[in-house]
Amino acid sequence: MRVAVFTETFLPKTDGIVTVVCLLLDHLHKRGIETVVVAPKMGVDRYNSTPVIGVPGVKMPLYPELRVGPPTLSTYHEVKRFNPDVVHLIHPALVGIPGMLMAKRLDVPMLASFHLDLARISHHFGIGFMEPLVDQLTKIVFNAADFSLAPSRMVMDYMERIGIERVGLWKRGVDAERFNPRFYSEAMRDHLSQGHPEDTIMLYVGRLSNEKQINHLKAVLEQVPGTRLALVGDGPAREELETHFAGTKTHFVGYLKGEALSQAYASADMFVFPSAMETFGLVVVEAMAAGLPVVASRVGGVRDVVREGINGYSFESGDIPALVDGVRNIAADPVRMKAMGQSARAFAETQSWDAMMDEVVDLYGKLLEQRQPAALTA
C-alpha cells in the first residue's frame, strides 16, 4: 500500500500536528506501507524513509514560522509518479484542498482528519463573525472526503453538528516509554525551578501564543504560595508574556527536545494547560504519562482523559478562579499529588499509539475495499 499525506505544517516546525504526522509516518513504515508527504517547503526533503514534496509558499502573518501556499502542477506530477493508493489529508486547507482535487483526478480514496479548530480560532482573534462561514467551508471540505476522523468526542460532536457525514474517532495516544517518570532528573528540576527545587513546579509545554491563555497562570502564582511556573516552548507571544510575568517565579525555558523534554515532564510536580482552544491537547497525555496530575481547560480531548480529582482537574476555558482552585487542591497535599500522578500514569499506559495508528491503517484498507467494486465496473 502507498499513502500520500498532505499537511499544512511539517518539520522543522514542532507542534502537536507535526508530532502526530511523524508518528503516523513512523507507524506506516513499521507496517511496510510506503509514504510520501506533501507539505510547505521548509528545507526538509525527507523524514526518515519518507520523501517530502515541498510546496512553495509565503510566511503567514499570524504565524510567521509557517509558510502557506497552494501546490503547483509539478506537485501533482510528483504525486502522480508516486501513484498513491490512499490520500490522507491532515486538516485540508491551502495544501490539502488542492490535494483533494489531485486525489479525485487520480481516482484515489481520501481520508481527512480534523486537527485545527479554525472557527474557534477566528473567534479568538476577534473575527468571530467569520465562524458561520468557516463552519460551512469546513463542512464542504470534509464532506468531499470519503471519510473523516475527529481527535476527540468533543470535536466529533462539533463535526456532526455542522453537518459533516461519515465521521469516526481517531484518539490520540502517547509513547509511555518516552514520557515516563523514570526520566526524573534532579538537575532538570533545579533548572526548571531556577535553583528552588523545594517549590511546587507547574509545567506548561507548548506554543507561546495568545490563544493558549498562558497569562492566566499569573493568578496561580499570586494566589497559591510556593508555586513556580516553567514554560517549555516558544512562540509569537513570548516577549509579551515575559513582560506580563516579570517579577514572578516564572522561567521561560525555551524549546526542549528528546531526553531533555522527557526529563522536564518527569521532573515537575503538575501540568497546567489553560488553552482557549485545542483539537486534542497531546501534551496533556504526555504529561500524564510522565506521572503528572494535570489542571487543564475543557478543550479538545481534555474531557476524554481527565478524571476529576483522580488524575487532575478541568475547568471551563477562561475560568481563572477554577484554574487556581485546581492547582491549590493538588499542591496542598503532596501525598495526594503523588497519588494523582500515579493515576495519571496508569491511564496513560492504556493509551498506546500503536493501537490508535492501527485503526487508521485498517481504515485505509476499508476505503480501498469500498473502491474495488467501482474499479471493476469501470
Domains in the chain, CATH or no CATH each: 2-173+352-377 (3.40.50.2000), 181-348 (3.40.50.2000)
pLDDT bracket for residue 374 (50, 70, 90): very low
pLDDT bracket for residue 345 (50, 70, 90): very high
SS3 100: helix
> pLDDT (tens digit, 9 = 90+) per residue, 10-25?
999 888 899 999 999 9
Q: Which residues contact 201 (CB under 8 A, 6 or more apart)?
A: 189, 192, 193, 227, 228, 229, 230, 267, 268, 269, 270
Higher pLDDT, 172 or 254: 254
Reading the block at residue 173, the C-alpha cell is 495516544
Q: Which of 76, 71, 18, 74 minimizes the C-alpha distance to 47?
A: 18
Place of cell 481534555: 302
Average pLDDT on 124-135 reads 76
Instruction: Give ∠ CA 73-77-79 in degrees, rounded to 5.
Output: 115
Strands 167-169 and 200-205: unpaired
Average pLDDT on 306-319 reads 97
Helices then strands (H, E): number in the chain?
15, 16
What does the pLDDT read at residue 60?
A: 66
Q: What is the pTM of this model?
A: 0.77
- Mean pLDDT for all residues in the chain: 92
Reading the block at residue 91, the C-alpha cell is 486538516
Q: Is the pLDDT of residue 97 over 50?
A: yes
Q: Is residue 261 exposed (0-12), middle (13-18) or buried (19+ Cβ within 10 Å)?
A: buried
> pLDDT (tens digit, 9 = 90+) per residue, 215-264?
999 999 999 999 999 999 999 999 999 999 999 999 999 999 999 999 99
pLDDT bracket for residue 134 (50, 70, 90): confident
pLDDT bracket for residue 119 (50, 70, 90): low
